[in-house]
Amino acid sequence: MRSVSFVGQNDIQLLYCGAEYFPALIDAFDTARSEIYLETYIFAADETAGEVKAALIRAAQRGVIVNVITDWIGTGRTQSKILQHDFQAAGVGYRSFNPWFRRGIARMHRKLCVVDRTVAFLGGVNIVDDTHDDDDPLIVLPAPRWDFGVRITGPLVATIHWEMAVHWARLGSISWSARWATFREQRTRSPTDAREAIVAGLVVRDNLNNRRTIQNAYLKALGGARVSAMLANPYFAPGRKLRKGLSSAALRGVDVTLLLGVGQYRFQDVIARSFYPRLLKCGVKIVEYRKTQLHGKVAVVDDNWATVGSSNYDGFSLFVNQEANVVVVDADFAKKLRAHIERGVADGVPVDLSEFDRIPLYKRIFYRFAYQIYKNMLRLITWGKSAE
């Protein structure tokens, strides 16, 4: 497994929701001079996505090389066909990840972009209007979707660009010798042990030599936590190691808070709640966010370690899908992100252990049944390794 490559002297700007993210993204497209790479799980057919699409086409018409990858499931078969037609006509390179499950069940869940090799974007924000439900665009959300991205300039951009260029090449028609050379280069790239005051690293998950990199980044941060750990995520169904990491930190006296999204998928909510009793008994604080869709995948530990990215705390993100997070070691950045999480916690509903003492027996049985279905499904998909 490759170590996380940290580099210093980056400027990393936190972008809250689509209102901050999309203007920055479109501005970068409109000022691009040579090259754009974009990866997203969802590229919707709504007005916001249309503005992003138009900006990409404008760039291509100026002579900028534009390469776009979307996930076939996340974007949908029909929309993928439309994008292929429209982008091809405009001179935009377009590839759909894993159509008809030709590469197995893994999905491309990353949200990445690099423009002119000088500025990068990363986070949890799909190319979709954040005022509408991402499953049903006819449903208007009570508030903009709670989500985050980052805008990055500095040495880390080169790492992100390399990752995206390799991914684009893998999905194309390249020879086996070129694929092998790319694989060898990926394995031999040496990490930088950055000692500067401001450092950040790209943390990716794939099914080659980064199978547990994102989970291990969380475990290392939790293992070294001394004061506090605040984590927010929409889909909570982690393996045994991450659950143990959360519990162990709380038992050591670390103030551990989980802000979890609920209400989007009932089965997912049931699975998440099957973990609540043990975590609560260990002292982990759990808050359910019901104000709107919580889609952010963020965390802050001890006010100097922070992460923003695409990886959920479920088996698919941690053990199956392709994901990308950035880890930032910087007090100012962590402080800004922590303030957002604290506001989310204030808007949420705390979960009390006593609530589970009053749960009827049939619900307890249902929780366990749902968990067993989920666990066995993940074991089958990941060859028995999902509980690690």
pLDDT, residue 215, reads: 93
Q: Which member of 53, 71, 111, 375 is catalytic?
A: 111
* Whether the Cβ atoms of residue 159 and residue 6 lie closer than 8 Å to each other: no
**Pair of tokens at residue 180:** 């092998």
pLDDT, residue 380, reads: 64
pLDDT, residue 387, reads: 44
User: Among all chains, which residue has been given the structure tokens 């919580």?
Assistant: 294
Q: Which member of 53, 109, 167, 340 is catalytic?
A: 109
Between CA 242 and CA 250, with CA 244 as vertex, the angle to 5 degrees is 110
Are the folds of 7-182 and 196-381 the same? yes
Residue 84's alpha-carbon distances to 92, 107, 111, in angstroms, are: 9, 18, 19
User: Among all chains, which residue has been given the structure tokens 């995206």?
Assistant: 164
pLDDT, residue 32, reads: 98
281 among known catalytic residues: no
Single-letter amino acid code for the residue at 251:
L
pLDDT, residue 318, reads: 83
Q: Cα-Cα-Cα-Cα dihedral of 339, 271, 73, 22, to 10°? A: -10
27 among known catalytic residues: no
Q: How many residues does the chain have?
A: 388
**Pair of tokens at residue 276:** 């609540």
Whose CA is closest to 55, among 17, 81, 90?
90
**Pair of tokens at residue 87:** 């982008």
Question: Which CATH code is given to the segment(s) 196-381?
Answer: 3.30.870.10
**For residue 84, how many other CB atoms are within 10 A of its CB?**
16
Between CA 109 and CA 104 the distance in angstroms is: 14
pLDDT, residue 222, reads: 97
161 among known catalytic residues: no
Q: Which member of 86, 116, 255, 303 is catalytic?
A: 116
**Pair of tokens at residue 127:** 């190319």
Whose CA is closest to 245, among 274, 276, 221, 222?
222
pLDDT, residue 190, reads: 41
Note the pTM of the prediction, 2 decimals: 0.90
Phi, psi of 226 (to 5 degrees): -120, -30
295 among known catalytic residues: yes
Q: Which member of 297, 330, 340, 375 is catalytic?
A: 297
Q: For the chain, what are the domain ranges?
A: 7-182, 196-381
340 among known catalytic residues: no
Residue 81's alpha-carbon distances to 69, 77, 94, 245, in angstroms, are: 13, 6, 10, 43
pLDDT, residue 20, reads: 98
302 among known catalytic residues: yes
Between CA 343 and CA 353, with CA 348 as vertex, the angle to 5 degrees is 130
| H or E segment and range at residue 344 | helix 331-347
Average pLDDT per block of 10 residues along the chain, 388 residues long = 76 97 98 98 96 98 98 96 98 96 90 98 97 88 97 96 94 61 47 55 88 92 97 93 97 98 87 92 97 97 96 87 96 97 98 84 77 72 51
pLDDT, residue 366, reads: 79
* Whether the Cβ atoms of residue 4 and residue 217 lie closer than 8 Å to each other: yes
Q: Which member of 86, 302, 303, 347 is catalytic?
A: 302
Residue 236's alpha-carbon distances to 23, 26, 105, 274, in angstroms, are: 30, 32, 20, 10
Q: Which member of 161, 167, 295, 375 is catalytic?
A: 295
Residues 6+ away with beta carbon under 8 Å from 264? 135, 234, 293
pLDDT, residue 194, reads: 41
Domain over 7-182 is classified CATH 3.30.870.10: yes
